[in-house]
Structure 1
Amino acid sequence: MHKILMAATLLLASTGAANCADAKGAKTMNDNTSAQADAKYNLPPGTYAVLDTEKGVIICRLFEKESPVTVANFIGLATGTKEWTHPRTHEKKKSRFYDGLSFMRVIPNFMIQGGDPLNNCTGGPGYEFEDEFSSGLTFSKPGLLAMANAGPNTNGSQFFITDNGSKPTYLNNKHTIFGEVVEGMDVVSAIARVPANGGIAVKPVRINKVDIMKIMPKKKAAK
C-alpha cells in the first residue's frame, strides 16, 4: 500500500490558510479562441489546467463545484494571483508558483507527484488549508488529480496524478480530488516510468509551466 505524504515537520503553516484565490489569472476563452481550443483538444466548457512538461502536455479538467477551495488555491498559485512564502528563503512572493518545478516522486501504476519548490517532497507555499471531500469523487479510476498532504487538513501546493492501472481506493477521504486528466495520460505514464530510486526520480521531470484555461459555452446562433 502506497502513501502520499509530505514531511509534516517541514510544512509551514499560517493563519488564514483557507483564503480562496480567485481566477483572475485564468484565460477566459472568447468564442474565437474557444473554437480554436475545441479544435485542438475537443474540450467541453469548463476550467482546465494545462501542464506543459518536458515529457509532453497534460490537460486536467478542474472540479470547481466539488472542490472549490482547492481549485481556487491551485489556480491562484498557478497564475501568480495568490501570495505564497518560499520554504527556503521565507520570502513572500506573488508569482507563478508551479512554473519550473518538477514531478519528483514517481511510482509506476500508482502516481506522479509534484508541486514542491524544494523538490524533495517536503516543501510548500507557507500555509495549509482544509480537505474537501465529495461522496461522488473517489479514487476509482486512473488520471485523477489530487492533493498530497501530511495528514488531515494540511494541503498546500503539492499534488499528484494517479497513473494508468491505479485505483487506490484506500486514499478515499484522505486526499482531496480536484480534477481529472482529459488529455495526456500517456504523458503521465511516461513520467511515472522514468528511472527512480525508492520512488524518487533520478532526474525529476520538469514542469515548464502551468496555464489555466477556461472554455465558455458557445453562443447559440441568432435565428
Structure 2
Amino acid sequence: MDNPTVVLKTNKGDIEIELFIDKMPITAGNFLKLAKEGFYNETKFHRVIDNFMVQGGDPNSKGEDTSAYGTGGPGYAIADEFVEGLSNARGTISMANSGPNSGGSQFFINLVDNTFLDFDKEPLQSKHPVFGKVVAGMEAVDAIAKVETGERDIPIESVIIREIIVKE
C-alpha cells in the first residue's frame, strides 16, 4: 500500500504532505482520520517561529480569543510512536505534545533540521514523533514562517487551513 497524501489548502498556498502510515500507523492514522472528518477545517497556524517551525491543529484557533490558542485537541490523546531513522528534518511534520503520550491533533512542520526534538535525544522530556513530510508546497510553509507574529508567537495576520484534501 502506498502512503496517503493530504493537501492543506491555506491562505498562503497549498501544502502536500505524505503521511507515513507504513511506519507510524497510530500517529499518521490519527491525523488522517481527523483530516477526513474535517477537524482541521478553518483552524489556524497559531504558533509560528521563523527558523524553527510552524504549528497548527488546535480547534480553539477557530475563534478570535487567542488566549485559548495552543490548548485544544480532539478530546483524547494518542500513544507516542517512535521509529528509528525518522528525524525532525526540514519539511517533516511532527506531533506536538506537552509530554509523553499527550499528542492529539496539534502538529508542526519543521522549517529547519530540528534534530534536538528527536526521540533519541536526552534529557528531553517531550519528544515529537515525525509522521510525514512535505512533498510539494514547501514555499507555502516558508511563506507562513515569514508572517509577522505577536505575543506567544501568534501570527498578527491569520494563517488559515481552509480544508484538507485527502488523496489515498
Common topology (TM > 0.5): yes
Q: Does 1:171 align with 2:117?
A: yes
Specify the code of the residue in structure 1 equivalent to 2:133: E
Aligned match of 1:132: 81
Identity of aligned residues (%): 46
Cα RMSD after superposing both structures = 1.0
Structure with higher Rg: it is: 1
Paired amino acid for 2:92: L
Aligned to 2:140: 187
Instruction: Please list every run of at least 4 consecutive aligned residues from structure 1 whose deviation after the TM superposition is greater than 6 angstroms.
Output: none
Alpha-carbon distance in 2 for matches of 1:202, 1:55: 14
TM-score (norm: length of structure 1): 0.66
TM-score of the superposed pair, with normalisation by structure 2:
0.87
Instruction: Find the aligned partners of 2:28 and 2:114 in 1 and give their Cα distance.
Output: 22
Summarize the alignment of residues 142-181 of structure 1 with structure 2, pairs less than 5 Å apart.
Answer: 142-163=90-111, 166-173=112-119, 174-181=127-134
Equivalences, count:
152
Partner of 1:123: 72
Distance 2:117 2:157 in 1: 27
Cα offset for 1:169?
1.1
SS at match of 2:143: helix
SS of residue paired to 1:61: strand
> Which amino acid letter does the alignment assign opposite residue 185 of structure 1?
M
Match of 2:18 in 1: 61
Match of 2:153 in 1: 199
Cα-to-partner distance string for 1:149-196 (whole Å, 9 max, x where unaligned): 011110100000011xx1111100110110000101110010011010
1:25-36 matched pairs, under 5 angstroms: none
What are the ranges of 5 or more consecutive residues in structure 1 without an aligned counterpart? 1-44, 81-95, 215-223
SS at match of 2:29: helix
Quote the Cα distance in structure 2 between the aligned partners of 1:78 and 1:138. Answer: 23
In structure 2, the partner of 1:52 is 9
* Residue equivalent to 1:83: none
CA contact (8 A) 2:35 2:166 kept: yes
Structure 1 residue 203, shift from structure 2 partner: 2.3
Distance 2:48 2:82 in 1: 25
Once residues 108 and 117 of structure 1 are traced to their aligned partners in structure 2, the CA distance between those partners, rounded to angstroms, is 23
Distance 1:192 1:199 in 2: 11
For 1:81-124, what per-residue CA distance to the aligned partner results, in whole angstroms no more than 9, with x for missing partners?
xxxxxxxxxxxxxxx10011111111111110001011211110
Q: Whole-Å Cα distance in 2 between the matches of residues 67 and 170 of structure 1? A: 20
- Once residues 193 and 104 of structure 1 are traced to their aligned partners in structure 2, the CA distance between those partners, rounded to angstroms, is 14
Residue 209, structure 1, aligned to residue 166, structure 2 = no
Query: Alignment partner for residue 76 of structure 1, among 30, 33, 36?
Result: 33
